[in-house]
Amino acid sequence: MTKFRSVLTVISNKLAIIAMAVTFILVFITTIDVALRKITNTSIRGSFEITEMGMVVIVFIALSYLQLSNGHIRVDMFVNKLPGRLRYIVDAFVLFVSFAVVIFIGYAGLQQTIKQFTAGITTGVVFWPLWPFVAFMTIGLVLYSLVLLSDGIDIVIRCARYKKPIEKACD
């Protein structure tokens, strides 16, 4: 399981670098666009669409990185009040349900990628094909679902191996 986890970590880290680069590009484009509008009363053609497509890349390929680094916001005021073993059962259950939902959405994204590729659907202003951006979404969701599954299995394995009090075994 640790090898699988390390492969997920390497892939997620590389995708996070892509997300950071896209963020930088979007900031640059937006800054230039705003400056052009203020100075010359013109703007970069399609800057809004470019920003939309870039946001898809940033959000979806960063999901697995955030999960691996525990960067997602957690509201655990109820879960923390549960007794030890039940707390980890709830955590594992939530991770497995999240895995199922995310993999389902990823499958729908794959279907949309194929549909948009075969139909040749493009954006309205810059005429970029949409399918690569939906493919980024799909890749990000599949990777995120694998991290969720790995986290869920990890909680179950760690908690099942130890005979100590569950709070110490699973922390």
- Helix, strand or coil for residue 129? strand
**pLDDT-derived band of residue 9, with 50, 70 and 90 as boundaries?**
very high
| Residues 98-121: tens digit of each pLDDT | 999 999 999 999 999 999 999 999
Predicted local distance difference test score (pLDDT) of residue 11: 96
Contact present, 36 and 42 (Cβ < 8 Å): yes
pTM of the model as a whole: 0.86
Q: Is the pLDDT of residue 166 over 60?
A: no
Phi/psi of residue 18, each to 5°? -60, -45
Residue found by looking up tokens 């954006």 in the block: 123
Predicted local distance difference test score (pLDDT) of residue 83: 79
Predicted local distance difference test score (pLDDT) of residue 131: 96
